[in-house]
Amino acid sequence: MTIEAGLESVNDAMPSRADVCNRLLNKMPVSDFALLAPHLELVSLKERQVLEVPGRPITHVYFVETGVVSVVAVNAEDHRIEVGVIGKEGMTGVPLVFGDDRAQHSAYMQIGGSGRRMPAAAFTDALRQSTSLRALMMKSAQAFMIQTAHTALANGRAKLEERLARWLLMAHDRLDSDAVPLTHEFLAVMLGVRRAGVTVALHSFERRGFIAARRGQLTLINRAGIEQVANSFYGIPEAELKRLMADTP
Amino acid sequence: MTIEAGLESVNDAMPSRADVCNRLLNKMPVSDFALLAPHLELVSLKERQVLEVPGRPITHVYFVETGVVSVVAVNAEDHRIEVGVIGKEGMTGVPLVFGDDRAQHSAYMQIGGSGRRMPAAAFTDALRQSTSLRALMMKSAQAFMIQTAHTALANGRAKLEERLARWLLMAHDRLDSDAVPLTHEFLAVMLGVRRAGVTVALHSFERRGFIAARRGQLTLINRAGIEQVANSFYGIPEAELKRLMADTP
DNA sequence: TTTTTTCAGTACGGAAACGTACGTCTTTTG
DNA sequence: CAAAAGACGTACGTTTCCGTACTGAAAAAA
């Protein structure tokens, strides 16, 4: 707390590259990071905190560092379902990358954490200035698109257990621990199924020794087991993200 | 056929702006059209013709003018489902816009027609040269993303009849006639449901006077009726497409 | 024309998931 | 500490849709 060196700093000071855990911020060229850094603000992201509201202008871009964001599509009759999750590998505000200023979906913290945010205007300015930043953001956007497409596939063809397993794996990828602090109710909302259905499915996982459950929390014990349950509905978006982030250093 | 004026031309000659029916080609600034025109080739797109294969490089971009393209996500165990359709409002090869050269999904003609195509390399060249072209293509890509997200929503929450109605409306939007030349089998594949389920649902539509059915073809008679069946699962992507294409002239 | 293929109609048992609801624990709030 | 709220366990009848399969009719091929 009382370190005199310039690197360690109060929250709002410009972050050094070493401080950030978001993969996009980590990965981008120093020049691009320098473009963003002055506008980045370290923020805590509390459970259920709303980041974007459908139809409303996007105020900030959030580079997630810990926690998980749920992106949820909603229609006129309030039917809703999760179309993607975002963790330290990504960011919110994808429409900005496409030159749009409005949020398409609802986005909120499903699992609390922290991240860096910057005003939308500053972000679009930076995008305009840097081709390489644009390139990276578009790859990130594409990765999210792929995730959405495979969510559509899972929603249409997978069984409840398969979808639940898929979700747990995606959450696990984005967390630092094996504990997933979530209620059955929220899992049900995201998957668009009954709460009771989630409860039963989780029991089955527990009986098979794949997870341990406590009130408001479940812990992955045997990830390989969950992967088997998820069948082929998990994996492609993850592999594609890796590919997209690998080939342009 | 034997008109001597320079405008009327053989298929491979450079198309004039007035000849093209694809909305993107229509809408873009003349300067951007001039950039693409030399590479555009008028092609007939036959039913079931494959345009993209997952994992394989994208060879051409297709600007659809008539007919409908199905974009289908596939996973390792060959589960598949349609994640979007493309007609005269759009084009194939979205990943190219994001700087990727590979097809993510399977894409093929669901309803035969025609379009203009150009080699992928020429397209990315043009993209690099023109900011306004990039902007337009990104809006088109975003519109497709929205469609995919709402497909995920429909797959997860809508009933078979609602999804079928949604699909018919989306096809109807992209056709010049009320006749949809498709078998129950193909509708079933796209929706990821049983063929027999489609048959029963279509009977219900027919009984209610919404469509007329013949072997391998169905005709919309009462579009408003179909819209009622689709409930709130149809409409948002369409409205958003309109918005996106309106605000940047 | 005859044969073959494709497409559509229909049926039946069964699986999956739903809506609903009620009771029992925890945890939070007053 | 009591009361209220939240989370989970469980149950039952019901809807939706599946897997499968057989039939007749229409179109295409021979």
Q: Three-class SS of residue A143? A: helix
Predicted confidence (pLDDT) per residue in A138-171, tens digit: 999 999 999 999 999 999 999 999 999 999 999 9
Cβ separation of A149 and B240 shorter than 8 Å?
A: no
Predicted confidence (pLDDT) per residue in B118-166, tens digit: 999 999 999 999 999 999 999 999 999 999 999 999 999 999 999 999 9
Q: Three-class SS of residue A68? A: strand
- Sheet hosting strand B211-214, strand order edge to edge: B179-180, B217-220, B211-214
Nearest Cα residue to B83 out of B170, B20, B160: B170
Give yes or no for residue A234 having a pLDDT over 50: yes
Q: Which residue has the tokens 């493309």?
A: B86
What DSSP state is assigned to residue B78? -
**Nearest residue (Cα to C1') for C16?**
A159
CB A200 under 7 Å to nucleic chain D: yes
Contacts of A232 in chain B (CB under 8 A): 75-77, 79
Give yes or no for residue B35 having a pLDDT over 90: yes
Average pLDDT over residues B183-210: 97
Cα–Cα distance measured from residue B93 to residue B107, given in angstroms and rounded to the nearest whole number = 9
Return the axis-axis angle of helices B131-157 and B120-129, rounded to nearest 10°.
Answer: 120
Instruction: Specify whether the CB–CB gap between B74 and B114 falls below 8 A.
Output: no
- What domains are defined for chain A? 17-155 (2.60.120.10), 158-239 (1.10.10.10)
Q: CB within 8 A of B109, min separation 6: which ones?
A: B45, B46, B47, B48, B49, B51, B67, B68, B69, B70
Cβ separation of B142 and A98 shorter than 8 Å?
A: yes
Q: How far does B152 lie from chain A, in Å, by closest CA?
A: 4
Contacts of B227 in chain A (CB under 8 A): none
Q: Three-class SS of residue A76? A: coil
Cβ separation of B153 and A235 shorter than 8 Å?
A: no
Q: How many CB pairs under 8 A join A and B?
A: 123
Residue A63 host element (H or E): strand A60-74
Q: How confident is the model at residue A10 (pLDDT cuts 50, 70, 90)?
A: very low
> Per residue in B6-35, is it b (16+ CB within 10 Å) or e — as a string?
eeeeeeeeebeeebbbbbbbebbeeebbeb
Q: How far, in Å, is the CA of B211 from the C1' of nucleotide D27? A: 22
Cα–Cα distance measured from residue B58 to residue A192, given in angstroms and rounded to the nearest whole number = 35
Q: How far does B98 lie from chain A, in Å, by closest CA?
A: 5
- Rounded to 5 degrees, φ, ψ at A242 are -60, -45
Average pLDDT over residues B21-49: 96
Contacts of A150 in chain B (CB under 8 A): 73, 75
Q: Which residue has the tokens 């020049």?
A: A31
pLDDT for position B4: 38
pLDDT for position B247: 65
Cβ separation of A153 and B79 shorter than 8 Å?
A: yes
| Nearest residue in chain A measured CA to CA from B75 | A232
A231 phi-psi bin (left φ>0, alpha ψ -120 to 50, beta other)? left
C-beta within 7 A of nucleic chain D, residues 175-204 of B: 192-197
Cβ separation of A156 and B157 shorter than 8 Å?
A: no
Q: How far does B141 lie from chain A, in Å, by closest CA?
A: 8
Q: Three-class SS of residue A216? A: coil
